[in-house]
Amino acid sequence: MLPSPIHDQVQAIAADHSSGATDLTLRAADAFAALTWSKDLRQPFASAVRELAAALIDAQPSMAPIFNLANAILLAMDQVDDAFAQRERVHEVCQESLTGLRQAGPIIAKYAQELIPPKGVVMTHSHSSSVRETLLAAHATGQIFSVICTESRPVGEGVYLAQRLAQAGIDVRLVIDAAMYHYLPGVQVIMVGADQLAPNGLVNKMGTALLAVAAQTWQTPIYSLCSTQKFLPRPAGDRTQKLQPGAEIVDREITGVRIENFYFDSTPLERLTGIVCEEGILDPAAARQRLLGQTIHPYLAD
């Protein structure tokens, strides 16, 4: 069993429904770091690491960076034998992963800024730190554009993004999710984030797939801003879904009505114009080929 403080960290990550994948992965790395030097372990260190890896993945099953962090740690631990060396490898992998995550954002923003036309309108759905960084960086360089944010029900993280952009002086409109199609004729480019990019689709906030279908109707380019740490070679499936509290949709029980509240959907890669990562702008075929080159530790393989 994991030490109580680390168990609490996992539970806090599981309960967080508004932070993006990058922020959640930083906290997952903190949990691994705490375990690395914990003096309260009641089991062998390697066993505790596997337990924590499984718990973190289960806490946020849609978040590929957490899976990739856990996967990299387990693969690295297999290269050494004694517990002290294993602890050092866990620490090193955490630092390498965090460095990669932090460095990816500005590089992605640089590529993505070039997709914003002068005086154009950008639409975004949910709250992506990569999208936020891109828009703020573009505005800071003097680019003139406006943004349409969806509210991103049921948690409303799009409201937070709209506030952040407006505070920086960007012209922002906040609309309900169901108004996506209505506003698209006036949109030049769509930018969304990613929780996971798998061979069979982009896992992101519920409504992304609908937005991609609508975008094709109006021939509006749609890009996912996604670091390679969110690339996952196994297909996205039901493991990414957890039924969330119905009270987030309706604050009372309705006799005979089952409320289903899921946070994520999967958009086929072919529905996207491209994927902006730290390696450049990849078309769907190139992204799929890039995905299939990763190795999954046997402990995490389904």
Q: Which residues are catalytic?
A: 195
Residue 210, Cβ density class (10 Å: 0-12 exposed, 13-18 middle, ≥19 buried): middle
Residue showing tokens 């070679």: 233
Residue showing tokens 């309108």: 121
Spatial CA neighbour of 65 closest among 95, 28, 10, 32: 28
Look up residue 184 and give its DSSP letter: G
The C-alpha angle with vertex 42 and arms to 39 and 46, in degrees rounded to 5, equals 85
As beta bridge partners, residue 282 has 275
DSSP assignment of 222-250, as one string?
Answer: EEEE--GGGB-SSPP-GGG--PPPGGGT-
As beta bridge partners, residue 150 has 175
CA distances, 290 to each of 76, 85, 230, 298 (Å): 21, 31, 12, 21
Residue 47, Cβ density class (10 Å: 0-12 exposed, 13-18 middle, ≥19 buried): exposed
Which residues are CB-contacts of 190 (< 8 A; sequence separation ≥ 6)? 122, 123, 124, 125, 211, 215, 220, 221, 222, 223
